Amino acid sequence: MWKVVRFAASRSRQFSTAIPWPCKVHKRGTDILHDPWFNKDTGFPLTERDRLGLRGLLPPRVISFEHQYDRFMDSYRSLEKNTQGQSDKFVSLSKWRILNRLHDRNETLYYRVLIDNIKEFAPIIYTPTVGLVCENYSGLFRRPRGMYFSAKDRGEMMSMIYNWPADEVDMIVLTDGSRILGLGDLGVQGIGIPIGKLDMYVAAAGINPRKILPVMLDVGTNNETLLKDPLCE
């Protein structure tokens, strides 16, 4: 079961990519590249590529974290330029997508980007854009985040929590999706709210991203549009 740990935020928190102790990695090869927590993209030095079975799985040039950061911001600025004149909804979802792709690939870089640009990106990862994301979540879904509990799991919930990969959880944000930002009942698509809110807590309050847990309590939906949508299950 999760350990409950008290958290005290530091007012002078500094983001650092340095780890003050060895990071134990039990994965190798593509398993590391597919894990956004450990993945550094092309930032793995040659010594790590040899030790972790990554040589040949990445382009040979080693790209520093700072260079990757600048490259992402350049891509984001290009997106802003290329979507000028488009509808606000289209632009907001396009910005959310590029950030979400980074989140799926490299969490360290993702949170660095958020922390350094929190005023700019807060409206994208949370309100008001998260409302659009929840309304369209079935079409935007790429990989699962958080945990889902439903009536089908009755009698199994205690054992289910051991499926979560982290031993300690400092913060949980839970929703049943029945009342999402004035949009009404969005059912399981409301998971976007806990995800976005916890990302805000990480970026603005210093919560450890490895110790957060978005939770969806799936009690179904009465939304006729969602019930008729074949993508919503």
Cα 198 from chain centroid (whole Å): 9
Half-sphere exposure of 81 (CA within 13 A, CB side): 6
Task: Give the orientation angle of helix 118-125 with respect to helix 88-105, to 10 degrees.
Answer: 100
Active-site residue 197, yes or no? yes
Using a 10 angstrom Cβ sphere, with 0-12 exposed, 13-18 middle and 19 or more buried, the burial of residue 134 is buried
Please tell me whether residue 104 adopts helix, strand or coil conformation: helix
Residue 201 a catalytic site member: no
- What are the two backbone dihedrals, phi and then psi, of residue 172, each rounded to the nearest 5 degrees? -120, 135
Of the residues 40, 76, 95, 197, only one is catalytic, namely 197
Burial class (CB in 10 A: 0-12, 13-18, 19+), 1: exposed
How many whole angstroms separate alpha carbon 152 and alpha carbon 74?
45
Per the annotation, does 179 bind a ligand?
yes
Scored b (16 or more CB within 10 A) or e, 177-199 reads: bbebbeeebbbbbbbbbbbbbbb
Identify the active-site residue in 76, 95, 110, 126.
126
Task: State how far the Cα of 50 lies from the Cα of 56, in Å rounded to an integer.
Answer: 10
Binding-site residues for (S)-malate sit at 179
Binding-site residues sit at 179
Catalytic center residues: 126, 197
